[in-house]
Structure 1
Amino acid sequence: MKAIFSIIGVLFFANINAQKFDCSSKIKEYQELFQAKKVTESFTAWTEVSKNCPKQSESVYTDGIEIQQFRIDNAASPEDKEKLVRELLKLYDQYNRNFPSSSADFEVKKALALMDSNVGTNQEIYSLLDSSFAKNPKNLSDARAIYTYFNLYFEKYQAEKTKVTSDMVLDKYMVISALLTELETDKPEKETEYKTAARGVRSLVKELATCDNLSTYYEKNFEANKENAEWLTTALSNLTIKCGGEPIYNAIAEANYKLKPTSKSAYFMAVTCIKQHRLPEAIQYFTEAEALETDPLEKAKLDYSLATGLLSKEKEKSKALLVKAYTLDPKMGKAYLFLAEQYSNSAEECGKTDFEKKAVYYLAEETLKKAVTAEPRLKPTADRMIERFASKKLTDKDISDKKMNGKSITIGCWINETITFPKK
């Protein structure tokens, strides 16, 4: 009972102290000082707040991290920098103790702080990342942290093959690959970063993750995971690159699709059908994948793949899919590029007169201009194609001689487009 009263007394006096110490005013004070670049004074005021008002607001920690990072960046010596980094790590610990739900990735932040300041050892960085990953893999959402974690794990494999086996590396590789794939979808604004990390991870295991090793690995683990959709999808993603034609790929693709027809599972079935030269079925699965996809940009990718691959020779269908692709994704300039190439290859087929044949090249050039508008980086490619068409397309003189300025002409055939020429 005496102990209970003692605790109540401590809490009471702490509350009285917090009331005496005006937390809100002090927070405003250090924030204004920091904005005025009076970092030393700001840090002093912030230190008082962190001691007296540890649970007042998350901003105490987010502001403190910003102030401390400024001090680290402006440290006078490597020794001072390391001391300040160590203080920052303690601040992350304090942040997690007081606001755990908002700082689940605090160990990842600590690892990144060590990396950014070139402080600590690889083992220290690895231990922090591994601890965070073990608690919840989704704590690792920073692409650089994910790559570093796998890289350090792979280094352990290379140095301690008795403790870290090739199967353990492949296990980790599968989980990391699945995580990066999921993050690409969840955080499309960082897609490039995750793709770069994925390429880096694949590069590390390229000698270990051979088609034979991957096939053996998945054959061994397939039975235990044949109803685990996440495992199956990751397996197919990894096998598609090197082993799309292997029997285990077919088995996993069929199990995945049977478990639940989704855009991805239908796509993997399309791949396995292509490898087995079952092209009509592949087209059906591609079409189903597109229909099941809800993301317009992903739908556009599937339309483009089908238009430029399995249906490239069926020009009318190919065109319809390309139009759909760049309608869904207005930045998909490559769809216009392919369509322009299709037009130019059909001038003889679709033009009834010399004028119409040249008009098809004119249409192809106008389509290339749209490609550049949609995706400016394609300009060099479009310019080369335009130069190729230069001697074949209509000139201003051709249009004037036929008195077609300001008038239109319709090209039939599969192209089925009306071209309106500019006025003089």
Structure 2
Amino acid sequence: MRFKIMFTIAAGLALGASSASAQATDCATTASIAYEHAKVKNYDAAEEPLWKVRKECPTYSVATYQFGEKLLKHKLKKAQGADKTAIANELIALMKERFQYFPAKTKVGAMHSDIGQVMYDTKIGTTEAQFAEFHKAYTTDKKNFKGAKKLYTYFSLLVDLQDAGKKKLQDVFELYDDITEKIEDEESAKAKTIATLTEKEESGTALSSKEKRKLKNAGINLAAYSKVKAGINQKLGARADCDKLIPFYNEQFAEKSGDVKWLKGAAGRMSAKECTADPLFFKLVEALHKAEPSAKSAYYLGILAMKDKQRSKALEYFNQSAELETKASDKAKVYFKIGEVLKKQGSYGKARSYYKKALQQKPSLGTSYLRIASMIASSANNCGTDVFSKRAVYWLAANYANRAAKVDPSLKSVAAKTAANYRAKAPSKTDVFNNPGISSVKIGCWIGETVKVPKL
């Protein structure tokens, strides 16, 4: 009897092991079929086996959810009406399933922001529900909250909620500052790639196919962030104009005059919107410098000194600000301001060094390239030794103007016109033909650079 029981147990275990093995084999076979079809975007053939794996073997591979997402997004593009809503809900469910079964391989910031965008695009849920997905993504995993479009949607929803009286204006300002900083960080990373590869190309070194793709992709992404930043500024609209800011901050000043974070935000916003002529700006700066002497307060004192035409004092404050500042984008702003003061004084060499310092901190600051181009062009007669070399200075100026467009797409039009204007003043094809053997021109005085003779 005991032998029969043992035999039955053993047989059951063997049968169970055999069944589990068969199921594993079936999962692998079905998944292989589904994945192969999905890899070549044959989603019609991939759908049945893929959903079978999803239902029967949910923990088999994260690839099930990756391909499933691509499949549903493909269907979503073609769907209409109720079908579109149904597919969107299925996509959201799939994203949540991936997190359920593969939490270590799912980025929370990406998942919740993706869900929020799907809800927004397909009009699923309330504005509050859509915003909640983005807000969870941004506040819990900002690093993986990526994508220019999603950043815009997040901010746009907050503004809509503020318009409806469900969020405070201060909430809008704070998110605006934070998102703008994130966008500028992304822009700087892409612009640095573009600047590095452009300089390599201009030096005469051919780019590899990988570098060409990298350069192209950086340009595409940079253009997207540039458009979104413009969109966010447009969405913020008149809420941040001087006639709105001044009474808004005046009303809060008595209560917030000791709040350093609030003072920085208020002074920064008034400075950005050029509301510095109002007495409130002086009150903010004075309170900020008293509460916490810092890079910011020194910068604003420099602005006030400039208003009083005390350039030396302003430069002193700006240099203090640059030394104290730790945030790259803000340090770039200070360096740029110093460059502007020095340029007005005619100290072109020193001004260029500060414009370049600004670019080191914020590679997407294309205006710095335009300023350098302008100074170089205006020095053509002084820095060339003969007619050809004087006119060759404009090639160098045009190169700098072109760089401005590459690192900041919002400057594309003005940079292109500027570069074309400089090239029109540079040596012509005939001039180059009449000066054979000249492949580059060394430019003297404060410029001290060499420019290659382009192929005309």
Q: Under a length normalisation based on structure 2, what TM-score does the superposition of the two structures give?
A: 0.65
The equivalent of 2:350 in structure 1 is 317
Residue segments in structure 1 that go unaligned for 5+ positions in a row = 1-12
Does the 8 Å CA contact 2:402/2:419 hold for their aligned counterparts? Answer: no
Deviation by residue 1:207-242 (Cα, 9 ceiling, x = unmatched): 34332432333344455484554x554434422232
Distance in 1, Cα, partners of 2:285 & 2:241:
19
Deviation by residue 1:59-104 (Cα, 9 ceiling, x = unmatched): 33222211221232344x5433332222112112323333456342
The equivalent of 1:59 in structure 2 is 63
User: Structure 1 residue 144 and structure 2 residue 149: aligned?
Assistant: yes
The equivalent of 1:45 in structure 2 is 49
Distance in 1, Cα, partners of 2:396 & 2:116:
50
Task: State the Cα distance separating 1:32 from its structure 2 match.
Answer: 0.9
Distance in 2, Cα, partners of 1:57 & 1:407:
58
SS in structure 2 at match of 1:44: helix
CA separation of 1:33 and 1:202: change in aligned 2, threshold 3 A: closer
Distance in 1, Cα, partners of 2:16 & 2:245:
60
Deviation by residue 1:142-166 (Cα, 9 ceiling, x = unmatched): 43334334434444555x4xx44xx
Deviation by residue 1:99-118 (Cα, 9 ceiling, x = unmatched): 456342434312322444xx
Percent identity over the alignment is 18
Which residue type is aligned with residue 240 of structure 1?
A: S
Aligned-residue CA RMSD (Å): 4.7
Q: Write out aligned runs for 1:8-407 (5 A).
A: 20-22=22-24, 23-75=27-79, 77-100=80-103, 102-105=106-109, 106-116=111-121, 119-121=122-124, 124-133=126-135, 136-137=138-139, 141-156=146-161, 158=163, 160=164, 163-164=165-166, 168-188=167-187, 189=190, 193-221=224-252, 223-224=255-256, 226-229=258-261, 231-242=262-273, 243-253=275-285, 259=292, 261-262=294-295, 266-291=298-323, 302-315=334-347, 316-321=349-354, 333-344=369-380, 347=381, 361-362=390-391, 364-371=393-400, 374-375=403-404, 378-385=415-422, 387=424
The equivalent of 2:211 in structure 1 is none
Does the 8 Å CA contact 1:363/1:419 hold for their aligned counterparts? Answer: no
Does the 8 Å CA contact 1:410/1:418 hold for their aligned counterparts? Answer: yes
Report the number of matched residues: 383
Task: State the Cα distance separating 1:361 from its structure 2 match.
Answer: 3.6
CA separation of 1:174 and 1:407: change in aligned 2, threshold 3 A: closer
Distance in 1, Cα, partners of 2:301 & 2:30:
62
Distance in 2, Cα, partners of 1:85 & 1:14:
39
Deviation by residue 1:26-64 (Cα, 9 ceiling, x = unmatched): 433321121244423422222222223334443332222
The equivalent of 1:10 in structure 2 is none
SS in structure 1 at match of 2:58: coil
Does the 8 Å CA contact 2:369/2:401 hold for their aligned counterparts? Answer: yes
CA separation of 1:205 and 1:84: change in aligned 2, threshold 3 A: closer
Task: State the Cα distance separating 1:183 from its structure 2 match.
Answer: 1.0
Distance in 1, Cα, partners of 2:78 & 2:372:
51
Distance in 1, Cα, partners of 2:238 & 2:417:
36
Residue segments in structure 2 that go unaligned for 5+ positions in a row = 1-14, 191-220, 406-411
Does the 8 Å CA contact 2:127/2:161 hold for their aligned counterparts? Answer: no
Does the 8 Å CA contact 2:69/2:91 hold for their aligned counterparts? Answer: yes
Which residue type is aligned with residue 93 of structure 1?
A: K
Which residue type is aligned with residue 124 of structure 1?
A: T
Task: State the Cα distance separating 1:325 from its structure 2 match.
Answer: 6.3
